[in-house]
Structure 1
Amino acid sequence: MNPGGSTTLLRLTELTWYEARTAGADAIALLPIGSQEQHAAHLPMGTDTLLVTAVVDRAAELLADAGPPVVRLPVLPYGHSPHHLFAAAVSLSAGTLAAVLADILRSLTESGFHRVMIVNGHGGNDEIMRLAVKEHALRTEGAFAACSYWSLGEAPENPGHAGRYETSLMLAAHPDLVRTPIEPHRPDGAPPLFNAPPHPGLTAERHGEWARVGGMTDDPSTARPDPGELSTRATELAQAIRAFAEATAPGAI
C-alpha cells in the first residue's frame, strides 16, 4: 500500500477505509489547521493556512523513507479569528472550533488511530487546540499532541502578524500571492498590548487595537524571501514528530 507516494507519508483523502484503519495501528495522524483572515493589504486571507501547509508538507518530505509513518489529513482552513473581523475574516467561535477539533479527534480514534498530532498555523487557535488535545486524552485511550509551527525548537521570539516574519515566509513559499509594493507600516500611538504586553508572561488586550494598527504587528516592508527559516520550521516539526513517535511507541511507557 503506497497511495501517498512514499514509504512513510499517506494522505487520508487518498486511502480506502480499510487502508486508513490499517494505517492507524502504527501511523501518526497529522492534522494541519489554519485560518481565513485579514493579513493587511499585501498578504492573502489564507496566509496561515498556506504557511502551515507548506511547513507540514516539507516536514513530511523530511520524514520520507526514515519514519515514522504519517497519515496527512486535509488542512482545516478555518480558525478562531474574531479579532480580524474589523477588516475581513471567516471565523469560528472558540466553542465551535473546540467542538470541531473534538469531533475530528473522536472520529480518528474511533477509526483506529492511536496517535494524533495537530499542527497549527494561526495564533488564535493555539490555546483552543491545546485544550482540545488535553481533554481528548482524558476520555480516550491513545496519545495526542499539538503545536504551532513557529513555537518548536529555537523559535522566533514573536512571529507577529502580517509583518516581516510572515511576509518573509510567504515570499519563500508563495511569492506570487504577495502583493507589491509592500508599504511601510508605521502606526500612530504606543505599540498594541496584544503584541507588547507591559510585563513578560502577561496576556493583555485593549479594545480596538487591531483596527488601530491596521491589522499588523510590525513593518513588513523589510521582508525578504526566507527559505532558510521555512526549512528550519519544517525540520523542527519533523523532529517533533519523531520525538512524539518514539515517546509513544509500544513499550515506551
Structure 2
Amino acid sequence: MSELTRMTWQETRAAGRSAIAVLPIGSQEQHAGHLPMGTDTMLAEAVTDAALARLGGDPEVVRLPALPFGHSPHHLFAAAVSLRASTLQAVLDDLLDSLAASGYRRVLIVNGHGGNDEIMRLAVKQYVLRADVALAACSYFSLGDGQSPGHAGMFETSLMLAAHPDLVRTPEPRPVVDPPPLFSDSPYPGLTVERHGEWARAGGTTDDAAAATAAHGAELLAGRSAALAEAIRAFDRSTRDSHASTEGAR
C-alpha cells in the first residue's frame, strides 16, 4: 500500500496507471455520550487499513486521506459538522475528477457513515457516465453478509474499543423510547420510514452499548476487513484488463 499524502506527484501519476485509489469517507457527528464525533471516519480508516494490510500489496493500492465530513443533518439536534447532500455529492465529484485528471482510472470509495451511502453511490453512478473510469463504492459494514451496525450501539462501540480504546467513555443507559423509533426498525422489510424528532428521543443511539467489548470489536474488525479485502480483489479482477493501463485517465 502507498499513501497519497507521502507520494511525490511523479509517483502519484505513475501509480495511477495500474493502482486502485481507495478513498475512506466518514462523518463528524454525535455518537451518544460515550463515543467521539469522528467515530465513523476512524472506523472507515481502521477497516480500510486492516483490509489493505491483508492484501499485502496485491493488488496495488494508493490510500487517500479520509474525507472526514459527511451528510449528518439528523444528528444536529446534538452536535455535528454536516455537508448538504448536494455538497457531499459535489465534493465527491470533484475528488473523482481530480483523480481521473491525475491518471487514476480505478477508484474505490469506502464509507463509514450510513447517511453518506446513497449519496456516495449516486456520485459514482453519475461520474462514470462522463469519464472513462471504473468506480466502486461500499459501506464497510454492509459488505458480504454484513448486518446493519446501528449507531453508537454494540457494533460501533465494540469496534472503537478494539481500534481506539482510549477514546471510548462509559456508555450511559439507552433511554426507553415509546413508541420505538422507526429509523432503525422498519415496520416492513424494504420500507424506509423517518419520523420527526426520533433521533433526539432515542438519545442518538439505535441500541444498547453496555455489553460492547474489545474482543467482540476485534472479531468485527477482522470480519469487516476480510470482506473489504475480498471486495477490492474482486474489483481489481473485474476491471484490471479494461481500466488498468499505461494510458492516462482522460
For the aligned pair, the TM-score class normalised by the smaller chain equals over 0.9
Match of 1:28 among 2, 20, 35: 20
SS in 2 for 1:210: helix
Question: How many Å apart are 1:191 and its aligned residue?
Answer: 1.8
Contact 1:186-1:219 at 8 Å conserved across structures? no
Query: Could you say which residue in structure 1 is the equivalent of 2:71?
Result: 80
- Looking at structure 2, the residues matched to 231 and 240 of structure 1 have their Cα atoms a distance apart, in angstroms, of 14
- Answer yes or no: is 1:49 the counterpart of 2:38: no
* Structure with the larger RCO, 1 or 2 (CA within 8 Å, 6+ apart): 2
Query: Could you say which residue in structure 1 is the equivalent of 2:247?
Result: none
- Looking at structure 1, the residues matched to 175 and 80 of structure 2 have their Cα atoms a distance apart, in angstroms, of 23
- Answer yes or no: is 1:166 the counterpart of 2:128: no
SS in 2 for 1:250: helix
Question: How many Å apart are 1:237 and its aligned residue?
Answer: 0.4
Question: How many Å apart are 1:250 and its aligned residue?
Answer: 1.2
Match of 1:63 among 55, 58, 68: 55
Query: Could you say which residue in structure 2 is the equivalent of 1:119?
Result: 110
- Looking at structure 2, the residues matched to 129 and 228 of structure 1 have their Cα atoms a distance apart, in angstroms, of 27
One-letter amino acid matched to 2:198 = E
**Unpaired runs of 5+ in structure 2?**
244-250
One-letter amino acid matched to 2:222 = S
Query: Could you say which residue in structure 1 is the equivalent of 2:202?
Result: 213
Query: Could you say which residue in structure 2 is the equivalent of 1:200?
Result: 189
Question: How many Å apart are 1:64 and its aligned residue?
Answer: 1.2
One-letter amino acid matched to 2:166 = D
One-letter amino acid matched to 1:168 = S
Query: Could you say which residue in structure 2 is the equivalent of 1:175?
Result: 165
Contact 2:175-2:203 at 8 Å conserved across structures? no
Contact 1:29-1:117 at 8 Å conserved across structures? yes
Moved more, 191-200 or 28-37: 191-200
One-letter amino acid matched to 2:52 = A
SS in 2 for 1:144: strand
- Looking at structure 2, the residues matched to 117 and 234 of structure 1 have their Cα atoms a distance apart, in angstroms, of 14
- Looking at structure 1, the residues matched to 176 and 103 of structure 2 have their Cα atoms a distance apart, in angstroms, of 51
Question: Could you say what the CA RMSD is over the residues aligned between the two structures, in angstroms?
Answer: 1.0
Identity %: 64
Query: Could you say which residue in structure 1 is the equivalent of 2:2?
Result: 10
One-letter amino acid matched to 2:200 = A
- Looking at structure 1, the residues matched to 68 and 119 of structure 2 have their Cα atoms a distance apart, in angstroms, of 15
Question: How many Å apart are 1:251 and its aligned residue?
Answer: 5.5
Query: Could you say which residue in structure 1 is the equivalent of 2:223?
Result: 232
Question: How many Å apart are 1:193 and its aligned residue?
Answer: 1.0
**Unpaired runs of 5+ in structure 1?**
1-8
- Looking at structure 1, the residues matched to 179 and 151 of structure 2 have their Cα atoms a distance apart, in angstroms, of 17
SS in 1 for 2:129: helix
- Looking at structure 1, the residues matched to 142 and 234 of structure 2 have their Cα atoms a distance apart, in angstroms, of 15
Q: Residues 93-108 of structure 1: matches in 2 within 5 Å? A: 93-108=84-99
Query: Could you say which residue in structure 2 is the equivalent of 1:188?
Result: 177
SS in 2 for 1:128: helix
- Looking at structure 1, the residues matched to 163 and 102 of structure 2 have their Cα atoms a distance apart, in angstroms, of 33
